[in-house]
Structure 1
């Protein structure tokens, strides 16, 4: 099934072959430690190394405005999205929605069980590569009927994307078909927590361009 991306005003339908979730990608050692600590508070074990590259099912990437998750312990994370297709790279926006309860037992499995919402718009990598670290990302969650700031930062807070591209071997995988990679996130204001609605935005301060996406999480009953 194709994902109907848009790039430079044109439709870019892609049948994604591989999907990667890069984890523990913070550039600042203190920021990584903070993220590990906030997840440790949820019972998540520390990573074996940083960064890590989790392979998940390609159909998990979705442009839907509603996803479903079992139980009430899942939450989103705003992340830059790299897409490689037909020898070209693009930059987009996605949420690494994750089951936090399962994460305490296996981070890899927690990544696999949740859809990964993304925006349809992509930016040509060659147009923004020289200033990619200036790109700003922000997210909000809905709490008590109001939108609350949840995350914010620039791509400069994440390991250089060129380093993640090399470490993930995304270009090699792309020889088999289109590949996408979520590239890591920032700490959550007030701590990681679930919310019924998640809103995210990516801004290019040099041009004023924005990419946005918003989605709702429908909670399915956890039947034992």
Structure 2
């Protein structure tokens, strides 16, 4: 039985590309400044989140968790999203889109990889060809809102580059159609409330004003019986 799901992306000019996702990967601790990453690892350790054995990290996620959805069911109140970009390898191209990695924070203290597989990676329905924005990648803006309140804002200059991750995919023999990789996230604003019921994330290209976004509502599952 296949675990692949098919995503559909509208490209500039109105063409549509479909991709059957066969490999889904989440980058972690992927800030371009690894000194900042080390400080973040220490902060998380104080909250009980186990430190990674190496940074940046790469977490395999079940391919069916790559979704273009407006609803994310959760089992409890301690889950939250993360603003990210995503690479999508197609038959003849590499696309860049927006993503929100929804994560189970209660499960995260037992294993980051486990928490990544507890909720979907929500991707945008539009994408840019990476080749068409590669020369200005660092200027592209990444912003997230939780319940309408800005919770993250930065540029892609804060994260490891798409070129870095494409090289890693080649090393792992995963640079092939159907691979989707999420970038890892930027810092949250200090003191914000991340356990929200609505999430929205956008990529904005200031050179053109073009925006790609994704958004969803978090809905609680019914209580278990038994």
TM-score normalised according to structure 1 size: 0.91
Deviations 1:138-175 (A, max 9, x none): 00101xxxx21100111110122211222244883243
CA RMSD, Structure 1 to Structure 2 (Å):
1.9
Deviation per CA, 1:58-96: give whole Å up to 9, x if none. 110111111111111110001011111113111000011
**Corresponding residue for residue 198 of structure 1:** 199
Q: Is the 8 A contact 2:166 2:175 kept in 1?
A: no
Does residue 95 of the first structure (1) align with residue 100 of the second (2)?
yes
Structure 2 unaligned residues grouped into runs of 5+: none
Mean Cα displacement is larger for which, 29-38 or 55-64?
29-38
Q: Write the distance in 1 (CA, Å) between the matches of 2:39 and 2:75.
A: 27
Distance 1:35 1:149 in 2: 20
Give distance in 1, aligned partners of 2:136 and 2:96.
12
TM-score under structure 2 length normalisation: 0.90
Q: Give the whole-Å Cα distance in 1 for the aligned partners of 2:165 and 2:108.
A: 22
Q: Distance in 1 between matches of 2:57 and 2:133?
A: 25
What corresponds to 1:3 in structure 2? 7
Structure 1's unaligned 5+ residue stretches are none
Rounded to whole Å, the distance in 2 between the matches of 1:111 and 1:129 is 28
Aligned length: 219
SS of residue in 1 equivalent to 2:51 = coil
Evaluate the alpha carbon distance shift between residue 149 and residue 81 of structure 1 in structure 2; reply closer, same or farther with a 3 A threshold. Answer: same
Query: Could you tell me which of 38, 49, 66 is aligned with 1:61?
Result: 66
CA shift in 2, pair 1:179/1:4, >3 Å: same
Q: Measure, in 1, the Cα distance between the counterparts of 2:9 and 2:46.
A: 37
